[in-house]
Amino acid sequence: MRKKRFAVVALMTLASICTGSVYAQGTGQRGLGPHAQSGSQSTYVAPFGVPLAPPIYFVNFILLYFTNPDVAIQMPAYRASLPQPVYKCLLANPDNPDECPYRDMAPSFAAQATEVGGSRNRNTTWPSYCQTPDAPWSAFAPREYRSPEQINEPLGRQRADQLAHLLGIDQSMILTGREYACMIGGEPRGPARKILLECSQQMTNSNGNAAVPLASYGLSVDESGGVRSLCSPDAPCLEGNKLFAGPLQLIAAECHFEDKLRRVNEETPIRKFIDQGSQCQSTTAPACIAEAACSGNGAQSNNICAPPVFKQ
């Protein structure tokens, strides 16, 4: 049962154990989006893509770093709230990115990047179902950007290596170049390897590593130019769920890294993060966006914070 849970919860992860997502597709809550924060209805919140929530971010980082540190260093170092027009469009169209074309969303992203002060002087607080309550992990998750150039900034080698060490990853767990190449495969790729590669690319769409970098938002742009969450319905990282019926295990056996995968599962906190991340993902399905409480419980001058969309 634990083995099955490990496979299903690991969301949008990467190029390795790609990951699954606990997307709660069977809840029948399509289009409802995330729940509002508990407490007063006057609480102001800011919307964030759940790929940046601490437990989900850590799961994906562990899996990416274990397979290829050069890929993991491209994960985002900072998080940014979704501009309100983008948030509302994604909530209304979680499974139809064509309704949220990047050409229409781009001005909102650009306008947000020019704003200063306001809520960026303090961090917002993730809802309880998207947190890692055990110290010290939350301190190492992406914090909110403070200057425009930090939006979509990649983690980088030094910070990635430090985080990997803190999470219990050592050099002997990391796939060799040959093992990684075997896992990804070459053209023409089969469906499983194609999903692994596409998910990895979307998790690392940071500055300098993507034509349209949206990593700090937990978003990507699909082949048709539509903006979508990394864990929206039918996204490559969500499609990774199907790999756990056997294809992933077959790839690991074929490429001879079963023991490294076992060690990652047993010697890092990944199981704890998976348990915590599953609640965050299922609660925020299908839009895969969480409303984080703004400091001071009030509106901000830069209009990033707003009343919650959904009432509890």
- The answer to whether residues 120 and 304 touch, using CB atoms and an 8 Å cutoff, is yes
Give the integer Cα–Cα distance in Å for 6 and 3.
5
pLDDT at site 240: 62
Give the integer Cα–Cα distance in Å for 69 and 100.
33
- What does the mean pLDDT of the chain come to? 81
Q: Is residue 239 part of a domain?
A: yes
Q: Is residue 40 part of a domain?
A: no
* Structure tokens, 265: 């599962």
Q: Is residue 312 part of a domain?
A: no
pLDDT at site 134: 80
Q: Is residue 297 part of a domain?
A: no
Give the integer Cα–Cα distance in Å for 197 and 203.
10
Q: Is residue 302 part of a domain?
A: no
Give the integer Cα–Cα distance in Å for 286 and 14.
20
Q: What is the pLDDT of residues 120-163, one digit of tens each?
A: 456 789 999 999 988 788 889 999 998 899 999 999 999 999 99
| Per-residue pLDDT band at 3 (split at 50, 70, 90) | very low
pLDDT at site 278: 83
Q: What is the pLDDT of residues 164-219, one digit of tens each?
A: 999 999 999 999 999 999 999 999 998 888 888 888 899 999 999 999 999 999 99
- The answer to whether residues 256 and 180 touch, using CB atoms and an 8 Å cutoff, is no
Give the integer Cα–Cα distance in Å for 170 and 243.
26
* Structure tokens, 282: 């299922």
Q: Is residue 296 part of a domain?
A: no
pLDDT at site 241: 54
pLDDT at 310 over 70: no
Q: Is residue 183 part of a domain?
A: yes
Q: What is the domain count for the chain?
A: 1
Buried-state track 185-202, b at ≥16 Cβ within 10 A, e below 16: beeeeeebbbbbbbbbbb
pLDDT at site 8: 36
If residue 228 lies in a helix (H) or strand (E), which one and from where to where?
Answer: strand 227-229
Q: What is the pLDDT of residues 223-263, one digit of tens each?
A: 899 999 988 888 777 666 566 557 877 888 999 999 998 89
pLDDT at site 115: 67
Reduce the secondary structure of 5-19 to three states and give it as a string. Answer: HHHHHCCCCCCCCCC
**Which of 185, 177, 202, 201 has its CA nearest to residue 248?**
185
Task: State which residues form the domain around 246.
Answer: 2-32+50-289
| Per-residue pLDDT band at 305 (split at 50, 70, 90) | confident
